[in-house]
């Protein structure tokens, strides 16, 4: 049998085989693996993490950091950049409800379908928010998750070089303890004094003063000058 004939037979045969491209993605936080903290160093009691990738190509770190100017809209801005939470991929079995929400995080997304925009070695990110929760919406439709983490004022973005889609079939555990290299803590602070060595503090933009407050400051300054 010539080689071309063999190849044709292989192609036909392969189409009869069930697809089996799935991996698992786990994430837990504890004193050993590292934990997200609020900007004041306390452990968050609301909010949670979103783990995923950018289907439109990874944005620059600067583009992600720029979203910090308004954390309340950061999640919807991520969606605009093509953000896909792995739980939203069709066929994924999500971890137990709340498993990726604060205060206690520990869970695994199973049967995560690989391929397409989520190919082998796709860079994964862990994004944390301090309010609301992940809204599952409809699998395959990330827009339906747009109300996730509503009310957040602080957030963090981690991109570790080890956070890559695992080979199928396999799994990967995304731990904060492995995010230590340059450019891996994109938004947030690692190793703040008093925190665990692997802990990441979220970042919240300092609010701009309101016009009325600026006006008051100006009047006070004028009053002080006249008294002198």
97 binds another protein (CB under 8 A): no
Looking only at the bridges linking them, the beta strands covering 200-201 and 83-85 are unpaired
CA gap 193, 124 in Å, rounded: 28
Instruction: Give me the least distance between CB of 15 and another protein, in Å please.
Output: 9
Instruction: For 123, list phi and psi in degrees, rounded to 5.
Output: -70, 125
What CA–CA distances, in Å, run from 96 to 43, 58, 80, 108, 119? 21, 28, 27, 8, 25
Site string for another protein, 99-138 (x = CB under 8 A): x------xxx-xx---------------------------
Residue 41: half-sphere exposure toward Cβ, Cα within 13 Å: 7
Residue 10 engages another protein in binding (rule: CB under 8 A): yes
Closer Cβ to another protein, 50 or 92, answer by number: 92
Supply the minimum distance, in Å, between the C-beta of residue 14 and another protein.
7
Confirm or reject binding of residue 178 to another protein (CB under 8 A): yes
Question: Which residue lies nearer to another protein by CB, 27 or 159?
Answer: 27
Nearer to another protein, 26 or 204 (CB): 26
Q: Left if phi > 0, otherwise alpha if psi is -120 to 50, otherwise beta: which for 225?
A: alpha
Closest CA to 185 of 134, 126, 106, 105: 126
- Smallest gap from Cβ 117 to another protein, in A, equals 21
Q: Would you tell me which residues interact with another protein (CB under 8 A)?
A: 3, 6-7, 9-10, 12-14, 16-18, 20, 22, 24, 26, 28, 30, 32-33, 93, 95-96, 99, 106-108, 110-111, 162, 166-173, 175, 177-178
């Amino acid at each position: 049998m010539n080689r071309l004939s063999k190849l044709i037979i292989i192609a036909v045969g392969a189409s009869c085989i069930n697809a089996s491209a799935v991996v698992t993605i786990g994430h837990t936080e504890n004193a050993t693996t590292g934990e997200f903290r609020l900007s004041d160093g306390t452990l968050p009691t609301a909010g949670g993490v979103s783990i995923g990738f950018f289907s439109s190509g990874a944005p620059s770190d600067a583009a992600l950091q720029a979203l910090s100017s308004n954390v309340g809209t950061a999640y919807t801005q991520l969606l605009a950049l093509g953000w896909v939470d792995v739980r939203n991929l069709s066929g994924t079995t999500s971890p137990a409800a709340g498993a990726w929400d604060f205060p206690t995080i520990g869970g695994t997304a199973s049967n995560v379908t690989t391929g397409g925009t989520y190919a082998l070695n796709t860079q994964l990110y862990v994004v944390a928010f301090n309010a609301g929760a992940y809204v599952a919406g409809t699998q395959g439709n990330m827009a339906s998750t747009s109300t996730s983490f509503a009310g957040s004022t602080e957030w963090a973005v981690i991109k570790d070089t080890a956070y890559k889609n695992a080979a199928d079939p396999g799994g990967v555990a995304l731990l904060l303890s492995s995010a230590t290299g340059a450019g891996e803590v994109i938004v947030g602070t690692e190793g703040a004094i008093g925190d665990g060595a692997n802990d990441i503090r979220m970042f919240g933009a300092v609010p701009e003063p309101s016009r009325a407050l600026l006006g008051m400051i100006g009047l006070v300054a004028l009053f002080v000058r006249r008294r002198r």
